Amino acid sequence: MSPSAIVYASATGFTRRYADLLAERTGLPCFALGAVPGPARGAAVLYLGWLCAGGIKGLRKARARYKVQAVCAVGMSPAGTAYTDQVRAQNHLENLPFFYLRGGYAPERLTGLYRPMMSLMSRMVSKASVEDEGARAMQEAFAKGGDWVSAEQLSPVLDALTE
């Protein structure tokens, strides 16, 4: 895989941090989706988008505009094969290299409709049984916010870029 640029969509900054880290490590130029100037139409890109109700934000637009060679989804859920497989299927990414990166949760930086959507989700999660370890971790994340961005999570992405 040899993308000519990194393109990302980020609402509260976590995905942008991963995109910036990747740009730093690879030397590739990095653009917010829709930025002008951006990569040329049809350019081969690595795309990163934040997860919103299981969908990767901006992915459809990026696929219409560029040749997306690999995709990273950034969410607040703990990483795990089952979750990664679910997101991959929901976003029709069976034929592309796909990576899940745990980002963060910063409710104070949410704007518009995302704020009420997340407080609804937060209330739903707070009703889940605390016996379930995953639910407990999410309750804590919703209550306190969190930042799980780490350069280590990019290792598989960097490996795929050098293949």
Ligand X SMILES: Cc1cc2nc3c(=O)[nH]c(=O)nc-3n(C[C@H](O)[C@H](O)[C@H](O)COP(=O)(O)O)c2cc1C
Is omega for the bond preceding 29 within 30 degrees of 0, making it cis?
A: no
Does 97 engage in binding with ligand X (CB under 6 A)?
Answer: no
Q: How many Å from the N-terminal Cα to the C-terminal Cα in the chain?
A: 7
Are the C-beta atoms of residues 110 and 118 closer than 8 Å to each other?
A: yes
Tokens of 149: 């961005």
Tell which one of 46, 104, 141, 161 touches ligand X (CB under 6 A): 104
Vertex 92, ends 50 and 159: CA angle to 5°? 65
Does 3 engage in binding with ligand X (CB under 6 A)?
Answer: no
Does 69 engage in binding with ligand X (CB under 6 A)?
Answer: no
Tell which one of 43, 118, 137, 160 touches ligand X (CB under 6 A): 118
Single out the segment in contact with ligand X by CB under 6 A; choices: 10-18, 59-67, 90-98, 123-131: 10-18
Binding site for ligand X (CB under 6 A): 10-16, 50-54, 74-77, 103-105, 110, 114, 117-118
